[in-house]
A and B are shown apart, each in its own frame.
Chain A
Amino acid sequence: MIAHRNLGFVAAAATLLAAAPLSAIFERWTWLIQATIAVAVVAAVAALARLARSPLWAQVLAMLAGLTLALTWLFPGGTELVAFIPTPATFGHFADLLSGSMDDMRSYGVKVPDTDPLLFLTVLGIGGVAVVVDVLAVGLRRPALAGLPMLAIYSVPVAVYVDSVPPVPFVVGAAGYLWLLVTDNVDRVRRFGRRFTGDGRDVDVWESSPLAAAGRRLAVLGVALAVVLPLAVPGMTGGLLDTFGTGAGDGTGTGRPGVGTNPGRINLFAALSGQLNQSEVADLVKVTTNEQQPFYLRFGVADQLRQDGFRVSDPTGKPANRDLPDPTRDLRPGVGQNRYRATVEVTENLDMPLLPVYAKPARTEDLNDRWLYDDDRQMVFSSRESARGKKYSFEYVRLTYTPSVLRQAQELGSSHPARVRYTMTPDVPEVDALVKTLVRDADTQYDKVRAIYDYFSADNGFTYRLSTETGTSGQDILDFLTNKAGYCQQYAAAMAWLVRAAGIPARVAFGFTNGSNRSGDTYTLTNRNLHAWTEVYFDQMGWVPFDATPTYGVPGSTRSAWAPDTDAPEESTPEPGSTSAPGETEASAGPEGPDSPEEDPDSGLALGGTTPTEQPPVWPWWAGGALALFALLALPALRRLALRRRRSAAAAPAPATVRAAGGGAPADGPRMVVLGADADRARADAHAAWDELLDTLVDYRVRVDRTETPRATADRLVREALSADAGAVTAVRLLGRAEERARYARDPLTGERLLPALRSVRGALAAQAGRRTRLLAAVLPPSVLLRWRLAAADASSRLVAATGRVRYRLLRWSPRRLLASRLAR
């Protein structure tokens, strides 16, 4: 019974742990408190029901009732009895909350704020999962199945984020599940009887079961692998290798259905860098327009600036198939206005809830009312539809400016809504100082913007590079301003940041350049044409685009009269291209829960860059890698060579200081009395020669028997391997005799030439060995490999022994000992 109660509470805790991934979609932690209350109620009710020995169906009913009570108390509708007894009206309230949650889901992107409907849905879901987990784990004793409902919770953030669900909550959830499994199995084993170790010893009560420990180790390893492996493999996620980091989502080209997602969730930065870095080129959009030289096609905007860069905020809007706001209202005279018409065909490759349009659309065709238009952001978006395969037409008004007109724009008052919203910058003193120097001599807002725009020029050392370096400042903006190398994202975001720092509203726009594939009026745009640029707000003129990215890096890049190519020797012809003034009064009232794109994508593979220039050559890497590989492969052979050289030096005949002693002598020849040092030398020589012989044997796959004496080894070699070569026979016998005397006799053998003997034996062995054996002996000498393997085995066994000792010492302090009295039932 106690075990059952334990298991029930573990199941509840595991459910809560499994809910941890939800932290990724809520802005605050209110949901956790409420979910904890609900789960606690469910668990308590279940425990009570089991205490009363009620059958399973009664337990389920009791838990559901408990959950209902908890929900009633947490989300009161005002009609309850004693605050938590539900009435029929309460259920009506619940139904309202549920339908409200559907609306909220549509209207909010992650991270969502605490709204009652969403919280209700969350608590209801977690409570339901708690009930199911309890039934499965405790009632049916199938805790493994309980993983499915837990996984259901996890699937929520997975569905919301595509690219990179934060790994930590997953680990927490997995830990909860493992805890449940372990508890169940320990309980099972404990009920089975006494616990034994593998060697038949009783397991101490305070000691963890070795089996369980092994299971835990395996489990931890498995979870760690499951988390780390995908993170470490580039391309599987946008995770660690992509500093867009946690919480980033993406809508483009990842093959994920964009239907039903919130446009605010799309991490345009991540999408952009991902697409630019892709080695494959895929057609995304085909656009036909009657404008001669259109400015960029545009689909998104990032207008929230945080410490880590610009973020996308949630668009709000009205159905795009109705009357759109007039693009030309509130315009200062002098701004050019031309009305054009364009047709866009989106391929199957582009899958996101945003539609690319030219700024600024006045009327759309072929779109249903699920597509909404945000006039402020000039985005067409949907939370239910995807752009994939869509074909639509729209009319738009192209606004063109001249520098003189722009110079007339007044600086916005500090209380102007646009200025309040779009000039917030994180406090980076270096940036502020830079901006102050840049705009020192500028009088008008346009001149200030131009000063900043001109700053991003080749003269100042800025270059285009698809791979960016990480700097040391810890801030991507400073890294970029220091390294002065990057691509459109960096340029667009940095310029917007600097302009904001100068007190002028700015944001980053996303879209397509005109590409390099034009036939007639039709432009075919690929993922390589994805682009980002800066938009600056001018009073009574709206958002004016500035593209600070070096033109050579961007195929299809266009420049305008007010923002000429800073790197060009002379001003390029003015190009029409404009944005219109959005009504700042229509500013979005929607919740601001954008993703967290950063300003700086990580260096991906530079291979897929939009530009062939400025790419460091790749072959040195290949060559270096090949060299390193060679060096690695050559290590054993080199080691063998070094060994042989050392031994040869040892076995070289020493000038024997020998004098014949008088009297009789053993059969080996005249008995030598060798001076001490020389004897040692001779011994070392003999040993070196013998070791070399043994290694040679191993290399040539001749058996080495460690039960054999040198003499026996020599005899065997003579018998088996060297019988054909008389010289080698003498040589190997000499080596054997030398080693034997060095080992066992009073005086070693001196005055013999071991080195030639060794060579002769080696030659005879090589002549006898097969070609493959010879090759292996030269390239990957088995003797060296064997030595290394033994060394590794030794080291690992020492490590295991040391770990065992440490573990034993730690076990003395294990708190489980204190539980001994309680558990020793």
Chain B
Amino acid sequence: MTQQTWDEVGGLLPHDEFRAASEAIVSNIEQVIEGKTATVRLALAVLLAEGHLLIEDVPGVGKTKLAKAMARSIDCSVRRIQFTPDLLPSDVTGVSVYNQETHDFEFRPGAVFANLVVGDEINRASPKTQSALLECMEERQVTVDGVTYQLQTPFMVIATQNPIEMEGTYPLPEAQRDRFTARIAMGYPDPGAELAMLDGHGATDPLTDLRPVSDANTVRRLIGHVRQVHVADAVKQYAIDLVTATREAPDLRLGASPRATLQLLRTARAVAALEGRDYVLPDDLQVLAVPVLAHRIIPTADAQLARRTTDAIVAELVHRLPLPHDRKRSPYDTRPGQGHGRPPYEPRRP
């Protein structure tokens, strides 16, 4: 399979072109998922940020529908894995089988060899199987029997899962969670949207009518555009501050990883591009902090006992963290600790 290099894909697209392409995808998906524009845009942003999406919610709110609608909207290879407790890693990555004709082992690609991989009910498989996704999600390659196979671009895993409290689920390992760029919740539709859903979906499945409005090549060009979005130093600093804050927060046992910083900024670029900007704002980071960071962190036992969700903790951090400034200091944007740091000397111990 031949792919364009990123240089060939090119940089910033003309505004109208990007807008047309992205809006087409969004409106296409919205034919299926009604009244969830923000969620849909976020999902698209994750795709354009070259990330993976974890959709977590209670059963029946349209997680799988969103994943499938997104896959259908883009004309590219789509594979679906239904994660079950007896699923094996080789089902995911692929396996070498003995070909009697050639008297040789032959690699049969697993489900991940596609542009879009829909992993349904991912937390119903054992951690062993989930671990099979680790390499492909981060490195976009699969190594089987010592041979490494590159995956295509774009490559995106859209996984759905039920909340951990549901029966028959395994918790996702931290490493696996960290590989998902964002975790979003669908949430119940509002009454109007639900009524429209009944009207529209009562008889037929809208998914069947869904036609692709884009293709892998277009998506690659969109990704190329997103990569060129400007990020000011102050915004980078803010991203670092945010992530550092999760590491230092007293309520958290595990903070966000550097990978989280990277993915936060990438997603912010995508969001900015979707909003028609060619620069990232701290606002983007603030919007994204909860989806991108909350699923990676682990609260302390105390925070858990106090029923504080990671979402709430991250939201509070965002609310408290002052904005960095690339200009001279002004009274309204001091950062805590400036000028009142450690004691200037450390007295000698006896």
> A and B: real partners?
yes
Chain A residues lying within 8 Å of B349, measured Cβ to Cβ, are 201-202
Asked if A666 and B235 make an inter-chain contact with CB atoms under 8 angstroms apart, the answer reads: no
Asked if A204 and B277 make an inter-chain contact with CB atoms under 8 angstroms apart, the answer reads: no
Chain A, residues 669-687, CB within 8 Å of chain B (1/0): the string is: 0010000000000000001
Query: Contacting A707 at CB < 8 Å: which of B275, B281, B323, B339?
Result: B323
Asked if B347 and A201 make an inter-chain contact with CB atoms under 8 angstroms apart, the answer reads: yes
Cβ of B13 under 8 Å from chain A: yes
Among A349-386, those with CB < 8 Å from B are: none
Among B310-334, those with CB < 8 Å from A are: 318-323, 325-327, 330-334
Query: Contacting B282 at CB < 8 Å: which of A664, A687, A704, A709?
Result: A709
Query: Contacting A794 at CB < 8 Å: which of B322, B339, B348, B350?
Result: B339
Query: Contacting B235 at CB < 8 Å: which of A668, A744, A787, A794?
Result: A744
**Which chain B residue has the least Cβ–Cβ distance from A800?**
B344
Knowing A667-B15, A740-B281, A744-B235 touch, does A694 contact B332 (C-beta < 8 A)? yes
Interface size class of B (residues with CB under 8 A): 35 or more
Among A176-211, those with CB < 8 Å from B are: 201-205, 207
Cβ of B286 under 8 Å from chain A: yes
Asked if B234 and A663 make an inter-chain contact with CB atoms under 8 angstroms apart, the answer reads: no
Cβ of B343 under 8 Å from chain A: yes
Cβ of B17 under 8 Å from chain A: yes
Cβ of B14 under 8 Å from chain A: yes
**Which chain B residue has the least Cβ–Cβ distance from A206?**
B350
Chain B residues lying within 8 Å of A205, measured Cβ to Cβ, are 350
Cβ of B144 under 8 Å from chain A: no
Asked if B344 and A706 make an inter-chain contact with CB atoms under 8 angstroms apart, the answer reads: no
Asked if A746 and B279 make an inter-chain contact with CB atoms under 8 angstroms apart, the answer reads: yes
Asked if B275 and A667 make an inter-chain contact with CB atoms under 8 angstroms apart, the answer reads: yes
Stretch of A80-88, A89-97, A215-223, A801-809 lying at the B interface: A801-809
Asked if B345 and A707 make an inter-chain contact with CB atoms under 8 angstroms apart, the answer reads: no
Asked if B279 and A745 make an inter-chain contact with CB atoms under 8 angstroms apart, the answer reads: yes
Cβ of B248 under 8 Å from chain A: no
Cβ of A711 under 8 Å from chain B: yes
Cβ of B173 under 8 Å from chain A: no
Cβ of B278 under 8 Å from chain A: yes
Cβ of B280 under 8 Å from chain A: yes
Chain B residues lying within 8 Å of A204, measured Cβ to Cβ, are 348, 350
Chain B residues lying within 8 Å of A323, measured Cβ to Cβ, are none
Chain A residues lying within 8 Å of B344, measured Cβ to Cβ, are 801-802, 804-805, 808
**Which chain B residue has the least Cβ–Cβ distance from A711?**
B283
Cα A786 to Cα B334 in complex, Å, equals 13
Chain A, residues 734-750, CB within 8 Å of chain B (1/0): the string is: 00000011011110000
Asked if A712 and B17 make an inter-chain contact with CB atoms under 8 angstroms apart, the answer reads: no
Chain A residues lying within 8 Å of B17, measured Cβ to Cβ, are 664
Knowing A667-B15, A790-B331 touch, does A745 contact B230 (C-beta < 8 A)? yes
Asked if B332 and A704 make an inter-chain contact with CB atoms under 8 angstroms apart, the answer reads: yes
Chain A, residues 690-706, CB within 8 Å of chain B (1/0): the string is: 01001000100000101
Query: Which residue, of B275, B276, B283, has the highest number of chain A Cβ atoms within 10 A?
Result: B283
Cα A665 to Cα B283 in complex, Å, equals 21
Chain B residues lying within 8 Å of A408, measured Cβ to Cβ, are none
Chain A residues lying within 8 Å of B277, measured Cβ to Cβ, are 666-668, 745
Chain B residues lying within 8 Å of A427, measured Cβ to Cβ, are none
Knowing A201-B349, A707-B323, A787-B331 touch, does A664 contact B230 (C-beta < 8 A)? no
Asked if A664 and B16 make an inter-chain contact with CB atoms under 8 angstroms apart, the answer reads: yes
Cα A712 to Cα B283 in complex, Å, equals 8
Query: Which residue, of A203, A671, A709, A805, has the highest number of chain B Cβ atoms within 10 A?
Result: A709
Chain A, residues 702-734, CB within 8 Å of chain B (1/0): the string is: 001011110110000000000000000000000
Query: Contacting B281 at CB < 8 Å: which of A666, A671, A691, A711?
Result: A711
Asked if A804 and B343 make an inter-chain contact with CB atoms under 8 angstroms apart, the answer reads: yes
**Which chain A residue has the least Cβ–Cβ distance from B322?**
A706
Cα A707 to Cα B325 in complex, Å, equals 11
Knowing A704-B332, A804-B344 touch, does A666 contact B276 (C-beta < 8 A)? yes
Cα A805 to Cα B230 in complex, Å, equals 44
Cβ of B196 under 8 Å from chain A: no
Cα A112 to Cα B256 in complex, Å, equals 85
Asked if A707 and B319 make an inter-chain contact with CB atoms under 8 angstroms apart, the answer reads: yes
Asked if A707 and B15 make an inter-chain contact with CB atoms under 8 angstroms apart, the answer reads: no
Chain B residues lying within 8 Å of A667, measured Cβ to Cβ, are 15, 275-277
Knowing A202-B350, A704-B332, A707-B322 touch, does A664 contact B14 (C-beta < 8 A)? yes
Cβ of A797 under 8 Å from chain B: yes
Chain B residues lying within 8 Å of A797, measured Cβ to Cβ, are 339-340
**Which chain A residue has the least Cβ–Cβ distance from B341?**
A801
Cα A787 to Cα B328 in complex, Å, equals 14
Cα A189 to Cα B17 in complex, Å, equals 80
Chain B residues lying within 8 Å of A691, measured Cβ to Cβ, are 330
Chain A residues lying within 8 Å of B334, measured Cβ to Cβ, are 706, 790
Chain A, residues 636-679, CB within 8 Å of chain B (1/0): the string is: 00000000000000000000000000011111100100000000
Asked if A664 and B322 make an inter-chain contact with CB atoms under 8 angstroms apart, the answer reads: no
Chain A residues lying within 8 Å of B16, measured Cβ to Cβ, are 664
B335 to chain A, nearest CB (A): 9
Asked if A744 and B234 make an inter-chain contact with CB atoms under 8 angstroms apart, the answer reads: yes
Chain A residues lying within 8 Å of B281, measured Cβ to Cβ, are 709, 711, 740, 744
Asked if B278 and A666 make an inter-chain contact with CB atoms under 8 angstroms apart, the answer reads: yes
Asked if B275 and A706 make an inter-chain contact with CB atoms under 8 angstroms apart, the answer reads: no
**Which chain B residue has the least Cβ–Cβ distance from A790?**
B331
Query: Contacting B15 at CB < 8 Å: which of A665, A698, A709?
Result: A665
Among B261-283, those with CB < 8 Å from A are: 275-283
Knowing A709-B286, A744-B234 touch, does A808 contact B278 (C-beta < 8 A)? no
Cβ of B193 under 8 Å from chain A: no
Cα A541 to Cα B275 in complex, Å, equals 115
Cβ of B232 under 8 Å from chain A: yes
**Which chain A residue has the least Cβ–Cβ distance from B319?**
A707
Cα A804 to Cα B349 in complex, Å, equals 16
Cα A632 to Cα B161 in complex, Å, equals 68
Chain B residues lying within 8 Å of A668, measured Cβ to Cβ, are 276-277
Knowing A691-B330, A744-B234 touch, does A708 contact B323 (C-beta < 8 A)? yes
Chain A, residues 510-528, CB within 8 Å of chain B (1/0): the string is: 0000000000000000000
Among B31-73, those with CB < 8 Å from A are: none
Chain A residues lying within 8 Å of B280, measured Cβ to Cβ, are 744
Chain B residues lying within 8 Å of A709, measured Cβ to Cβ, are 281-283, 286, 323
Could you jot down 15 A-B contacts, CB within 8 Å? A204-B350, A671-B278, A706-B322, A706-B323, A706-B332, A707-B321, A709-B281, A709-B282, A709-B286, A743-B326, A744-B235, A745-B230, A745-B278, A786-B331, A801-B344
Shortest beta-carbon contacts, A-B, top 7 = A664-B14, A667-B276, A664-B15, A745-B279, A744-B232, A706-B322, A801-B344
Additional pairs, 12, CB under 8 Å, beyond known A667-B277, A668-B276: A201-B347, A664-B18, A666-B277, A667-B15, A694-B330, A707-B318, A709-B283, A712-B286, A744-B234, A744-B235, A745-B230, A745-B277
